[in-house]
Structures are given as C-alpha cells and as structure tokens.
Structure 1
Amino acid sequence: MSFHDFHSQTIQGKDISLSDYKGKVVLVVNVASKCGYTPQYGGLEQLRKDYKDKGFAIIGFPCNDFGAQEPGTEAQIAEFCQLNFGVSFDMMKKIKVLGKDKDPIYQFLIENAPEKGDVKWNFEKFLIDKDGKVRARFPSAVKPESEELKKAVEGLL
C-alpha cells in the first residue's frame, strides 16, 4: 500500500485520488488557522513556489484536533488561506488526525513514517516520495524554510 492508494476531497468538495500525485514529491501538513504555527502557511507557499517546477507538491489537511484551532468551515478556511497567505497549494477537506475517527490517510502516514506515534500538534509534516512512500516526518517547530526540510525535499526530487 502507498499514499497513492487513498482518496480524499478537496476543500471545495471535489473527490480526488492521491494517485494524481504519482511521480511527485509531496509534503503533507495538518494545518490550522488559529495556531501559533499558522504563519508557516507563508513558508509552505514559498516552498511550493521554489520546487513546484521540479515535481513537488504540498497538501494541507485542515484539522481541529489541537486546541480547537481550526473551527471554520471549508469555505472560511479557504478564504483565510487565500487572503492572508496567498495559498495556492492543494487544500483538502477538514479531517481528524487523532482518535478513533482518524482519517485513513493519517493512519497510513503515522504507521509508515520513520518516526511512529500520533501527530503531536498542528503543522506536523510528512514527506512522501514519488512512489508514495513516507520518507520523513518533521515536527511542527521545523519551519518550511529550514535547511533540514529543504535538503530532505531536494534529496527526493
């Protein structure tokens, strides 16, 4: 099984197969609009711009599991991201990343990441290779513009 075997819905409600990302390096991030890490949206957008032409994509999964920091509807989240950070990377519907209702995509990411264990907070990052395998996991404090993250992305492109 790989990341590409899953389906989701975009923030606009369109069904999508993650197989659409085959051949790309993908950074998956659980995001929130009212978090201390929310400014990372800007860094994520810049990272996407820096590497998109080399086969890189970012997918944001809004999540309200940590401190109720993503209370908005999908429409409110999309508007917030666009107005405040010019987000153009792919955003999906709001999901759960913890507990018994955890989205199957996140169950897969957690079970297949080099570092196991539940997601600890908003803006945790999973790096997926071109074949859909989880290659790295970064805690929330690792900024998108960090050398550590950039080197990991570059190593998979």
Structure 2
Amino acid sequence: MDDPPRCAWDFSFVGIDGQPLPLARYRGSALLIVNTASKCGFTPQYKGLEAVYETYLERGLTVLGVPCDDFGGQEPGDSEEILQFCESTYRVRFPLTEKVKVKGEGAHPFYRWAARSFGPWAKPRWNFHKYLIAPDGRLADWFSTVTKPTSPRFIKGIEAVLPR
C-alpha cells in the first residue's frame, strides 16, 4: 500500500508542454499554485500573478498556473491555445500545467489533498483560487478567488514563506 502524501512535494503534474512536472523540483522554494482560466472575469489576475512572479522569483517563489475548466467552461482551449493566450495576452512566463480538474471525484490528487488538509472552506470554488506552499512542502495558506495578487494580505503571506 502506498504511503499517504505528507507534503506538496509528493505530487506531480504534467507541464503544459506535456513533460512531467514533479512539485519536488521546487523543494526549498515557496510555491504558489493557482487554478486558472482564460475566459473568466478574474482572468486579469494573470497580470498580477506575473508581477508577483517577477518580483519574488529571485527570492525563491515560483507561481504555477493550473488551467482548469471546472467552473463555467471558462477554459475551453487545449494546451497550445492556453499557452498562446497566456503568453500573448498577459506575457506570462511562470510555468503552467496541462488542464486538470480541481474539484469533485476526478480532481487532481494535489487538490484532493489540499482540500483534506485545509478543510472544506479552502476548496476552490471558482477560478484563480490560490494555495501557498512553504519551502518545506507544507500548505502555508490559501486565498480565495477574490483575493487579488496585489492585496496586502496576499503579499504578506508570500513574504512570510520565502526562503531565508
């Protein structure tokens, strides 16, 4: 029987390029995991997320965009279309995964684990839900869709988990 996951580094996604994307590659860094969508009222958050990524990358933060189509069919494209949209519209440079489910029975294992770890209030209820992972792989905090990447609470949370 497999051991249950103990931290975020126990999970893996597939990158938008089709290559394996184990979260363990970010061990020792802070990681912000955000479920994204291209046709959502919150899609402009890509701009703020990219700004956060650029500001904190050298201090040890990576933003990971996780496209999903779970909320209102707002991510209808395939990987190539999603990547083209993100790069051309918002100049996104942070890594993206392939499209996954983030809720329900078919949710990606990371999202099932995060929901169990933080409880039902911390589940994604819409696009642009954010999970903050500390350098040791523990879930440090979560932020709802309406929390802008420029909000003081959000920035304070990021700064609290940056590697020393």
Provide the C-alpha distance between the structure 1 equivalents of 2:149 and 2:70, rounded to a whole number of angstroms.
Answer: 21
Superposition deviation, residue 110 in structure 1: 1.4
Please report the TM-score for the alignment, with normalisation by the length of structure 2: 0.92
Structure 1 portions without partners, runs of 5+: none
User: 1:89 aligned to 90, 94, 99, which one?
Assistant: 94
What is the number of residues matched between the two proteins?
A: 157
Contact 2:122 2:142 in 1 (8 A): no
The structural deviation recorded for 1:137 is 0.7
- Equivalent in the alignment of 2:3: none
**What's the counterpart of residue 60 of structure 1?**
65
Secondary structure of the equivalent of 2:100? coil
> In the alignment, is the contact (CA less than 8 A) between 1:114 and 1:136 conserved in 2?
no
Residues 95-121 of structure 1 show CA distances to partners (whole Å, capped at 9, x for unaligned) of 001111111011112122376453100
Q: How does 1:77-116 map to 2 (within 5 A)?
A: 77-113=82-118, 116=121
More displaced stretch, 127-136 vs 108-117: 108-117
Q: Is the 8 A contact 2:9 2:26 kept in 1?
A: yes
Deviations 1:20-60 (A, max 9, x none): 00011111000000000000000000000110000000011
The answer to whether structure 1 residue 127 and structure 2 residue 132 are counterparts is yes
Percent of pairs with identical residues: 38
Q: Distance in 2 between matches of 1:51 and 1:37?
A: 22
Structure 1 residue 7 displacement after superposition: 1.3
Q: Quote how far apart the aligned CAs of 1:154 are.
A: 0.4
Alignment partner of 1:28 is 2:33? yes
Stretch deviating more after TM superposition (7-16 or 37-46):
7-16
Q: List structure 1 runs of 4+ shifted beyond 6 angstroms.
A: none
- 1:70 partner letter: E
Q: Residue in 1 aligned with 2:145?
A: 140
Asked if 1:149 is matched to 2:142, the reply is no
* Aligned-partner SS, 1:131: coil
CA separation of 1:115 and 1:53: change in aligned 2, threshold 3 A: farther
CA RMSD of the aligned region, Å? 1.1
The letter for the 1-side match of 2:83 is A
Q: For residues 105 and 35 of structure 2, what CA distance do their matches in structure 1 show?
A: 17
Question: What TM-score do you get using the length of structure 1 for normalisation?
Answer: 0.97
Distance 1:121 1:105 in 2: 16
The one-letter amino acid paired with 2:54 is K
The unaligned stretches of length 5 or more in structure 2 are: 1-5
